[in-house]
């Protein structure tokens, strides 16, 4: 995201460009992993407040104001957010749509929408609550209290914290690692993890088992196990 003069405020144009870029990346077989980031000091300061100011309820409903916002959460390929600095409101929600969140030491996560007389609208009450639990979510949403990178790590919102200068490098290193794996197994595994938030334990376990069995229909499963047994490095084809 590159709107530094507006702290990467997520205006309609940015969100529709992001959605169409994600369409292209998903369709490109050379792309295995998607990393989303902003600049040093700002991931995104939320939806564009200046653009939202004149909007009224019937218009946001009929125009489906947030139609481009869920594209990221529908990515089949793995997604990683590299968050430097502010991830506020819609910025925090965008990061939470990603599969993995890395942050730098100056990262700040918050859902300050109530301070603007509105409320989170793209996962700030739902994904946040599933990630960090009700108490922290309520406090963040109801008071606008922001989490530092360390707090976000402790709360389970993000998986790792790095110095600012190495954040993107580390994110790309992880992306590279995932890109070496079987892209088929990666997609199935991502589906199974996401299903944990949607299904009961017994149904989720059955779903996981069925997906696991289905990997036995792939060449990659044989390649991976064969390489282990023969002490070689596997090269996966996605088949
Ligand atoms: C529009 C924004 C913006 C935003 C910053 N800017 N955030 N414009 N929408 N969300 C603009 C400022 O107006 C300013 O423009 C320029 O970016 C620089 O910002 P400053 O405030 O001067 O910078 P700084 O003092 O460093 O403060 C940074 C900040 C602050 C802490 C990130 O800008 C801030 O609090 N921003 C708003 C955060 C927020 O409330 N987010 C939630 C939005 S609601 P000018 O023209 O003055 O230079 C939301 C709803 C999501 O996200 C639900 C549906 C998806």
* pLDDT one-digit tens code per residue, 38-83: 999 999 999 999 999 999 999 999 999 999 999 999 999 999 999 9
**Which is nearest to 83 in space by CA: 167, 145, 163, 177?**
167
Protein residue with its CA nearest to atom 12 in ligand 1: 6
For residue 35, report the phi and psi dihedrals to the nearest 5 degrees.
Answer: -110, 130
- Residue spans of the domains in the chain: they are 4-178, 182-230
Q: What is the pLDDT of residue 70?
A: 95
Q: Is 113 a catalytic residue?
A: yes
The CATH number of 4-178 is 3.90.226.10
Can you give the pLDDT at residue 49? 98
Active site residue 208: no
**How does pLDDT run across 74-83, given as a tens digit for each residue?**
999 999 999 9
Q: What is the pLDDT of residue 192?
A: 98
Question: What Cα–Cα distance (Å) separates residue 144 from each residue in 88, 137, 197, 207?
Answer: 10, 10, 25, 38
pLDDT digits (tens, 9 = 90+) for 115-150: 999 999 999 999 999 999 999 999 999 999 999 999
Superfamily of domain 182-230: Lyase 2-enoyl-coa Hydratase, Chain  A, domain 2 (1.10.12.10)
| Helix (H) / strand (E) containing 160 | strand 160-162
- The structure's pTM equals 0.97
Please give the Cα distance from 137 to 131 (Å, whole number).
9
Tell me if ipTM is over 0.90: yes
- Which element (helix H / strand E) includes 104? strand 100-104
Closest CA to 218 of 188, 191, 194, 195: 188
Measured from CB, residues less than 6 Å from any atom of ligand 1 are 6-7, 9, 45-50, 66, 69, 86, 88-90, 93, 112-113, 116, 120-122
End-to-end CA distance of the chain: 33
pLDDT by residue (tens digit) across 194-235? 999 999 999 999 999 999 999 999 999 999 999 999 999 999
């Amino acid at each position: 995201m590159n709107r530094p003069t507006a702290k990467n405020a997520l205006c309609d144009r940015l969100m529709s460009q992001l959605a169409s870029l994600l369409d292209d990346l998903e369709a490109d077989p050379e792309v295995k992993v998607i990393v989303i980031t902003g600049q040093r000091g700002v991931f995104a300061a939320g939806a564009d407040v200046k653009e939202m100011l004149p909007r009224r309820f019937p218009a946001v409903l009929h125009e489906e104001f947030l139609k481009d916002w869920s594209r990221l959460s529908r990515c089949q390929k793995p997604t990683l957010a590299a968050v430097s600095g502010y991830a506020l409101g819609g910025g925090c929600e965008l990061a939470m749509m990603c599969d993995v969140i890395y942050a730098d030491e100056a990262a700040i996560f918050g859902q300050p929408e109530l301070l603007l007389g509105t409320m989170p609208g793209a996962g700030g009450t739902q994904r946040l609550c599933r990630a960090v639990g009700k108490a922290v979510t309520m406090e963040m949403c109801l008071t606008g209290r922001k989490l530092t990178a360390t707090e976000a790590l402790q709360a389970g919102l993000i998986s790792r914290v790095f110095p600012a200068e190495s954040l993107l490098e580390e994110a790309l290193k992880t992306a590279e690692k995932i890109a070496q794996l079987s892209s088929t197994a990666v997609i199935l595994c991502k589906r199974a993890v996401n299903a944990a938030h949607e299904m009961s334990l017994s149904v989720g376990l059955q779903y996981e088992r069925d997906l696991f069995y289905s990997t036995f229909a792939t060449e990659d499963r044989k390649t991976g196990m064969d390489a282990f047994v023969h002490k070689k490095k596997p090269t996966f084809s996605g088949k």
